[in-house]
Structure 1
């Protein structure tokens, strides 16, 4: 029911945002129609006036509702001031000026609302990670129950290629488990059952070979899992909680805006009210005092100020969209321009996101083709993710065709594979497999393996007829554009670039060495990444986090600006992120940072322009040194200047 209500509320928000934007455009259309009739024809003044009135209705509709809701709570904000200014302009006959005020303000209002409510779906997306039901083993039968009804010490059965329903320890079976949804590890891990379940240590102290997480994906074999955490305490639930907590925090910019409204709007209202009573103090008529008060109200209405940031934000977002980059609102656009520290996830962000064949090392006079053909024939019959990657790369890179010449394939969980090829017994796997099969692995082979392992490769020994005949290795390789991108980031002022990864420290170090990073933190679970981000924020105040997986969501939500890799990114990371690289091109990072810095510069310029005009006009109009026409001309002139300045962002290019 709560989920249904959340979705219904989300749908209502989207409907209101669309309607608000439509009303803003209708306001502008009727404003333009009225202006054209008034300036280009001799029709009765009632015709353009009618068009202006309709423009008022559309432009003021949502602003009036927002102002009313604030007023009944005892407060006044810029919405109220804009309505008052538009009303004052209408009272003295300046309908076009008032309609323009409403159009510009309502358009900025609508576009900001539309852009800034996208991240709310992240919690719903996180909730989809876990399956809805679990198969619980009760004596000799299996009972399907909702995961909410699972209890600690229940035994659940996880069928091949299905999602695991709870955090727990494997008590029967072995399989490879894809943990990418939780830890971000690029290569599925071999999991085996624990030997003794009577005196289990704490969940976090159990060997990771025996534990599984809710939301991860089982491989080709069935597992029996002893549930050690309730649904609300699972890793996925912690992710949801972390994202929820971070998303409810208000930004300093929001708080500053609220403080500004609290003093600016009441002061303007008080000043205008006192000016209406000026005829009681000085020798002038009530109409003169009223005219001056309305002029001040128009001069003080923060139209240029209100549109200064939204216009720059809109232009920046539009320019980013032309490059295939989605920026979710002004806060992200502004904050990204101040970033000097960036944290990166590894898998799918700095790397390709899948294991690739990196080395073939045949021994004993085996030539490359003969060695590769043997490996291809054996590995093609395995369903293990690494075997599939090796077979695919051999076919792709070396143009060797699969001939179905191997047979009697047998997978030994956690060790490797055995098969018969051309009447020869072949083993491909780790040192344990070789030792268990009576195959000697000499120091020469171990030294070769050590060098590869230290550089982050996953290494497998190939043996035929009880003798080692070579080595093969796989690795999640860096993106081709990663080196140039990181170099460009350093050139534009990103001083610190840190990799945060769930993979082994050696793997992270190897990738960092290849692409030019100097700081790597490996073996990280989602909560570890959050702790790392918290440490970086304490040191550098503002940081950006670039990631692509569900496991990155809490860390991304906590960072000042979160950037998701689009095509390769999970739905959760995409929804949670402030910036999404839709084309999955990491080389767009320098562009979006440069665009953000330019946007920040233009926003500052616009604020100074708008405040300077208000600071000039208000005193002049208070002392009656100018009329309403001049006030409106300067006021609207500043608005035009602000908008034109913002539109420069549409032509932004990196130097």
Structure 2
């Protein structure tokens, strides 16, 4: 009973029933004169049109079934048209309704049945194929976990995933879905994070690592403390974002919607004028049918749904149709160096001793003592190395004074310690800095970030840190160029020499170094001023002004950031740089499909109009071609759901081997 109920209310019940009635009508006529001439009904039906040739005062039985087929298929169409009219919307359903009712009035029951039947079957096929274009969202919903195993009162309890409380310890066993966002507090394991990041290779998880709801354990046993549950999980935010994005309209779609509001009434006026001038009612009704802008109306949204769905499946969240359309126009990409082109985990590479009375350990000890009160990212590798070599500082300096753009000044054991660049030493009146400057320049030329260390009035050494270039950075730049991006620009606060070394290793087109956050904004504005559509890739903190000003702001590694998922124009869920050119390439393909669909829709209408006036195109033929064009548009958009070679490619293993990278890694 439930199956029958679902079928009755499903997409196919109406076209199947209508089709069966049409088949019965033809069967009755094919049986012969005796069956075909069984007539029922009042005389006025016969006098209304072509069927008046019958001599009896009854209605042919075959036509009864044909009329029933038109009523079954057309009832829902007429109901929709009336609802639309009450909302002051003149849509496709009204055109089909008027044409079908008119065909019935003039006695052309076959045309009425054919038009409504084809429209109904087209609607069912559209619904089925549109569901396919939304398959990415369905897949995301499907990976949402149903249950969780938690520790309560010292025992394992299996409960619905929605009942897990914040702070509870969840057990993730081999093959199970992670039910919450959280941190690993014990155990090791490998998780398939494809549903979040689009990467199919399992990721090893150990104590302290983040995990996300909807990921699947491929081995091991993890104990996870819940930090995000229910609607606060990354997976839930992704699903919400994709739902919104697929419904958001592109500028082209908004134009098509406005166009349709004028186009549909115009078709009705054209049909009325043609009927009055020619005196041919059938011609007017045929114009109504073939003028349906169905393929045109659906051409944009179906492409957007498919494109955004494909991107989401690959771990690329695009905020909506407008942003997808803008992404297809990107001609310049601005990237931050640290954490984007480089790993973002600098290490101490050099300790150059300038004072012959000291050794490496003494220079490192003074540098670490000065940096122990600093919050600068480059302080951490110095401190880590000092602790590893047994010269780590105890406590913090008596005073620490940051000097923006130059370094810091600390008071350690009653002595003044400076660590920074040559202008810092000059500002504090330290002479004899030529040797320190030469050493710093040599290190910078090798791609390292140098810091001169001075105690009181003497430069005692130079320490240098370096960040590894990401293995996929050169390939990302190359793929961006292949995707049609004219210029890839590096924006960094690091020194010119360091930036040039990274730029040479990665193939960057243009380098802007020693920038403050407001300077990055100026560069982005300048690129826009000369005509570029700019995408900015950054961490969203010190790059915030530039990200907000760029045409498209891109957040990397957004899986752990609720803010990035909700606010970024494009959020790359994983930490794979190659997702950026993949996303831009997908946006360009989507816009190309949108244009193809518009062309298919318009050419179909023009050819059908020409066919009507030239003769040979009937209402049923027009509706058949119209529905075929709608399906062609949908199938064309569904091509976007296929995986491309670049979407399945993985970053090359191993460090980049370019000369500059070798210098940095030396």
Q: So what's the TM-score if we normalise by structure 1?
A: 0.57
The answer for the alignment partner of 1:84 in structure 2 is 94
1:30 equivalent in alignment to 2:29 = no
Give 1 or 2 for the bigger CA radius of gyration.
2
Q: Give the 3 Å change call, closer, same or farther, for CA 616–535 of structure 1 in structure 2.
A: same
- The offset of 1:477, in angstroms, is 5.5
Alpha-carbon distance in structure 2 between the residues aligned to 1:563 and 1:28: 47
Q: Give the 3 Å change call, closer, same or farther, for CA 95–357 of structure 1 in structure 2.
A: farther
Aligned pairs (5 A) from 1:32-71: 32-36=12-16, 60=80, 71=88
Q: Which runs of 5+ in 2 are unaligned?
A: 1-5, 25-64, 102-111, 137-248, 403-407, 647-666
Choose from 628, 639, 642 the match for 2:630: 639
Secondary structure at the aligned position of 2:574 is classed as coil
Secondary structure at the aligned position of 2:333 is classed as strand
The answer for the alignment partner of 1:413 in structure 2 is 401
Mapped contact 1:31–1:51 kept (Cα < 8 A) = no
Secondary structure at the aligned position of 2:388 is classed as coil
Aligned pairs (5 A) from 1:168-187: none
Aligned pairs (5 A) from 1:393-404: 393-394=384-385, 400=388
Alpha-carbon distance in structure 2 between the residues aligned to 1:47 and 1:371: 98
Choose from 414, 419, 424 the match for 1:429: 419
Please give the per-residue CA displacement for 1:530-577, whole angstroms capped at 9, x wherever unaligned.
554444334345443333425655655554444332428976665554
- The offset of 1:411, in angstroms, is 3.7
Alpha-carbon distance in structure 1 between the residues aligned to 2:411 and 2:545: 42
- The offset of 1:393, in angstroms, is 4.9
Alpha-carbon distance in structure 1 between the residues aligned to 2:303 and 2:131: 15
1:592 equivalent in alignment to 2:583 = yes
The answer for the alignment partner of 2:157 in structure 1 is none
Mapped contact 1:112–1:329 kept (Cα < 8 A) = no
Mapped contact 2:558–2:564 kept (Cα < 8 A) = no
Alpha-carbon distance in structure 1 between the residues aligned to 2:392 and 2:337: 36
- The offset of 1:259, in angstroms, is 6.8
1:603 equivalent in alignment to 2:591 = no
Please give the per-residue CA displacement for 1:299-320, whole angstroms capped at 9, x wherever unaligned.
1111112222222222222222
1:310 equivalent in alignment to 2:327 = no
Mapped contact 1:376–1:391 kept (Cα < 8 A) = yes
1:342 equivalent in alignment to 2:333 = yes
**CA RMSD after TM alignment:** 5.1
Please give the per-residue CA displacement for 1:392-413, whole angstroms capped at 9, x wherever unaligned.
6538xxx937687745743432
Alpha-carbon distance in structure 2 between the residues aligned to 1:533 and 1:104: 46
- The offset of 1:331, in angstroms, is 3.8
Secondary structure at the aligned position of 1:31 is classed as coil
1:653 equivalent in alignment to 2:641 = no
Alpha-carbon distance in structure 1 between the residues aligned to 2:346 and 2:582: 29
Alpha-carbon distance in structure 1 between the residues aligned to 2:569 and 2:636: 25
Secondary structure at the aligned position of 1:360 is classed as strand
Alpha-carbon distance in structure 1 between the residues aligned to 2:368 and 2:543: 38
Q: Give the 3 Å change call, closer, same or farther, for CA 307–514 of structure 1 in structure 2.
A: same
- The offset of 1:481, in angstroms, is 2.0
- The offset of 1:584, in angstroms, is 3.1
1:616 equivalent in alignment to 2:607 = yes
Mapped contact 1:313–1:330 kept (Cα < 8 A) = yes
Please give the per-residue CA displacement for 1:210-246, whole angstroms capped at 9, x wherever unaligned.
xxxxxxxxxxxxxxxxxxxxxxxxxxxxxxxxxxxxx
Aligned pairs (5 A) from 1:526-545: 529=520, 531-545=522-536
Alpha-carbon distance in structure 1 between the residues aligned to 2:255 and 2:582: 29
Mapped contact 2:335–2:490 kept (Cα < 8 A) = yes
Alpha-carbon distance in structure 2 between the residues aligned to 1:434 and 1:339: 43
- The offset of 1:271, in angstroms, is 0.9
Secondary structure at the aligned position of 2:398 is classed as strand
Aligned pairs (5 A) from 1:262-281: 264-277=263-276, 281=278
Alpha-carbon distance in structure 2 between the residues aligned to 1:605 and 1:256: 16
Aligned pairs (5 A) from 1:291-370: 291-353=282-344, 356-362=347-353, 364=356, 370=361
Alpha-carbon distance in structure 2 between the residues aligned to 1:551 and 1:272: 61
- The offset of 1:467, in angstroms, is 7.4
- The offset of 1:633, in angstroms, is 1.4
Mapped contact 2:483–2:581 kept (Cα < 8 A) = yes
Mapped contact 1:550–1:573 kept (Cα < 8 A) = no
Matched positions, count: 469
Mapped contact 1:27–1:99 kept (Cα < 8 A) = no
Q: Give the 3 Å change call, closer, same or farther, for CA 49–577 of structure 1 in structure 2.
A: farther
- The offset of 1:324, in angstroms, is 0.7
Q: Which runs of 5+ in 1 are unaligned?
A: 1-25, 72-78, 116-249
Please give the per-residue CA displacement for 1:442-497, whole angstroms capped at 9, x wherever unaligned.
54233212444577855434578997654222456543322221123234443222
- The offset of 1:60, in angstroms, is 4.5
Alpha-carbon distance in structure 1 between the residues aligned to 2:93 and 2:548: 36
Q: Give the 3 Å change call, closer, same or farther, for CA 419–257 of structure 1 in structure 2.
A: same
- The offset of 1:325, in angstroms, is 0.8
Mapped contact 1:89–1:97 kept (Cα < 8 A) = no
Alpha-carbon distance in structure 2 between the residues aligned to 1:254 and 1:106: 19
Q: Give the 3 Å change call, closer, same or farther, for CA 45–410 of structure 1 in structure 2.
A: farther
| Deviation larger for 330-339 or 583-592 | 330-339
Mapped contact 1:512–1:520 kept (Cα < 8 A) = yes
Aligned pairs (5 A) from 1:363-512: 364=356, 370=361, 374=365, 378=369, 381-382=372-373, 384-386=375-377, 388-391=379-382, 393-394=384-385, 400=388, 406=394, 409-414=397-402, 415-417=408-410, 419=412, 427=417, 429-430=419-420, 443-452=434-443, 458-462=449-453, 470-474=461-465, 478-501=469-492, 508-512=499-503
Mapped contact 1:416–1:429 kept (Cα < 8 A) = yes
- The offset of 1:36, in angstroms, is 4.5
Q: Give the 3 Å change call, closer, same or farther, for CA 45–591 of structure 1 in structure 2.
A: same
Alpha-carbon distance in structure 1 between the residues aligned to 2:117 and 2:276: 27
